[in-house]
Amino acid sequence: MDILNFLPSILAISGIITLISLSIIDLRVWLLPNWLNLTFGILGIAFHASLNFMIFEPIHLLYGALLGGGTLLATRFFGNMYYKQDTLGLGDVKLLAAAGLWLGIEGVAIAITIGAFAGLLHGIGFALTRAIKEKKKPDLHRLMIPAGPGFCVGILASCIWKFYPYLAG
């Protein structure tokens, strides 16, 4: 067997490890390091190159990066205006731009949607846990949690949906 046959799987596993690392770091210190976001993006380009851009052409990856990063940048801009404080970190913006290099336009839109829902569930779970510990009613007003882990769940779910047929066979 040739190592090139395994390269897409190796790159996909490396991407999963990078997403897990990003999630753990964000949960602990509320930060998505640039070097890990960059690594994730480079792994995405390498993944598609290892498949000779069979799934997406390079331009579709660029459009995905622009949609992913642009959507979160706009969300950050309007959220910051409304709440008059940082609502989303630039690391989250870079993470979704890197995700677009894996998923293209449709996949990154799905990742954002699933990721936002996962973040909502995370926030509700966090608020309920805190309320139980403090023996108070749950307070969801201006609840702050790191967004990266939810988006990582969305990215992973979208990647599984999009790439499983190519890696399983």
pLDDT in tens, 30-45: 999 999 999 999 999 9
Please report where in the chains the tokens 């205006």 appear, as a residue: 81
Rounded to whole angstroms, the Cα distance separating 31 from 165 reads: 33
pTM of the predicted structure, to 2 decimals: 0.93
Which helix (H) or strand (E) element contains residue 58? helix 58-83
Rounded to whole angstroms, the Cα distance separating 93 from 115 reads: 13
Give residue limits of the domains in the chain: 3-168
pLDDT in tens, 77-94: 999 999 999 999 999 999
Rounded to whole angstroms, the Cα distance separating 55 from 60 reads: 10
